[in-house]
Structures are given as structure tokens and as C-alpha cells.
Amino acid sequence: MKKSGILNPELIRAVAAIGHTQTFVIGDAGLPVPEGVPVVDLSVTHGVPSFAQVLSAVAGELVIESYVYAEECTRANPEMEAFMQKTLQGLPASRVPHETFKEMTKKAQVVVRTGECSSYANVILVAGVNF
């Protein structure tokens, strides 16, 4: 058994399996998962676990070189945007229209569904390398 960090076996497997430049999506409960993209569904109830909890856990384990989120988040969910920017501080960020964001998820290695129920609480993490 792991001592600390991510304990969910599916989630830690997804983190360990991702390669440089591949994408790892963390989404709210309503983000559609494209056909054929593996999903790790962590949702339990409304808000559990939260997007913030999952992003914090994943950011502690995954080497991230950049991230992408929907430009609509700025207007509709500025607290979540601020949380992403703080958690992923120093990393290059791209903002794209939500429809473009959803298209980008089709190339993801995995989508992690949270119990988050606030608008545009979604991020695409681009994996980096640890050397």
C-alpha cells in the first residue's frame, strides 16, 4: 500500500502511464467523455471529490509542462481559474473556447471525472518529463 499521495489505484496508474506531451484531463461531473478515451470516474456525490482536491493531488504526482482550460472559466468561474493558476503557478497556460476544449479531450490519454458541479471546472494537463 502507498504511504501517501494518490491512493486510488486507477488514478495513480493513469498518472504513472502518461508520457511526455500526452494529455491528462481533469473534469467536472458534466464534462462529456469522448468515445474511446479511458475515464477514471471518481465522482461520488455532488461536489465530492471536488475539482480542486483532484487537481491538487494530481499536480503533486504528475510532471506537468503546461495546461489548457476554457476561456469561459474567466467569466463564469473566476475562483476556479484563480485556483488553477495558483496550483499550476509558473506553468504556461492556454485558454481556448469551451467547444475547442471539448474537441481537444478526444486526444487525451485519460479523463478523470470529479464530483465538481461548478461551471467550466476542467483542465487539460500536458505531461512533461522529470529529467
What are 75-117's pLDDT values in tens digits? Answer: 999 999 999 999 999 999 999 999 999 999 999 999 999 999 9
Residue 11 in any domain: the answer is no
Residue 109 in any domain: the answer is yes
Confidence of residue 2 (pLDDT cuts 50, 70, 90): confident
Residue 13 in any domain: the answer is no
| Choice between 131 and 69, residue whose per-residue pLDDT is larger | 69
pTM of the full structure: 0.97
Residue 8 in any domain: the answer is no
Residue 3 in any domain: the answer is no
DSSP letters for 65-102: EEEEEETHHHHH-HHHHHHHHHHTTTS-EEEE-HHHHH
CATH number for 115: 3.40.1650.10
Residue 95 in any domain: the answer is yes
Residue 122 in any domain: the answer is yes
C-alpha cell at 131: 529529467
Domain range enclosing 48: 19-127
Catalytic residues: 20
C-alpha cell at 115: 464530483
How confident is the model over 16-58, as pLDDT tens digits?
999 999 999 999 999 999 999 999 999 999 999 999 999 999 9
Query: How many domains, in total, are found in the chain?
Result: 1
Residue 116 in any domain: the answer is yes
